[in-house]
Amino acid sequence: MTLIADLSIFADPAVLTSLVTLTVLEIILGVDNIIFISIVSNKLPAEQQPRARTLGLIIAMAFRIMLLLAISWIISLTEPVFTIGFIKNEAGEGLGISWKDLILIAGGIFLVFKSTLEIHHKMKRHDPGAPKKAPSSFSAVIFQIVLVDAVFSFDSILTAVGLVEEVLVMIVAVVISMTIMIFFAGPISRFINKQPTLQILALAFLIMIGVMLVAEGFHEEINKAYIYSAIAFSLVVELINMRLRKNSETVQLNNEEL
């Protein structure tokens, strides 16, 4: 697998089909990334939030391109570095843990911890007389975004390797998908942050994604289609609830005017 500089490969319909498929997959896999960036960047002052979202996604794009250029090294990270004897695989042998598994496990634990902490913070009853908590620093938010971007990048790239052979096609797919996500990150973030129930739902999604990453680190394969179907179903139900609440408030307001 090498980087092909000949752009004529995009004249091949099969390559174009692979590019579109991979781009759509990158966008779908990037939804959880955008949710995390939205939640974390909300800790910043309003004027810094757009810059944090854009910078975070640009760093993610650059990081993924660098990893694609070092694709051979990425593939080598799937080789076991140690074995857990008391956990058996399908062959009855000790479970081999690779650097990729360690990255997924650590990233999953961080997502679960961070999301649980955010839910706990939002559930606390705020005392109006208590001093306001200082907003997070810009560098701290960017560090968290880059940390989670790294975990999602490994998962995304290893998925891309199984779909496309040409590294150039992978890079173009990453650039297109990240550009689209940068464009929509702002509206998505504003929409989530305006709705408290959606914030809790988004954090619950991140906990589920974190658990899935930990499970993958221990070689327990979970069909991502089930995860994203559950996310889509929950989102549709919540949007219906939001519409019902809005209609109920409108009716109540009209009755009060009468």
Average pLDDT for 64-90:
75
The sign one gets for the Cα dihedral 112, 198, 195, 58 is positive
Quote the pLDDT of residue 183: 84
The whole-number pLDDT of residue 2 equals 46
How many CB atoms sit inside 10 A of residue 192's CB? 19
pLDDT score, position 130: 47
Tens-place pLDDT, residues 130-179? 444 555 678 888 888 777 777 777 766 766 666 666 777 778 888 888 88
pLDDT more than 90, % of the chain: 0
Q: So what's the pLDDT on residue 4?
A: 45
The region, left, alpha or beta by phi > 0 then psi within -120 to 50, assigned to residue 94 is beta
Question: What is the pLDDT, as a whole number, of residue 179?
Answer: 86
CA angle 237, 152, 47 (to 5 degrees): 75
| Residue type, position 80, single letter | P
Q: What is the Cα–Cα distance from 207 to 199, expressed in whole angstroms?
A: 12
d(CA 112, CA 214) in angstroms, rounded, equals: 10
Euclidean distance between CA atoms 222 and 232, whole angstroms: 17
Q: What angle do CA 103, 107, 113 make, to 5 degrees?
A: 150
Taking residues 37-51, report their average pLDDT.
81
- Structure confidence at residue 242 (pLDDT): 79
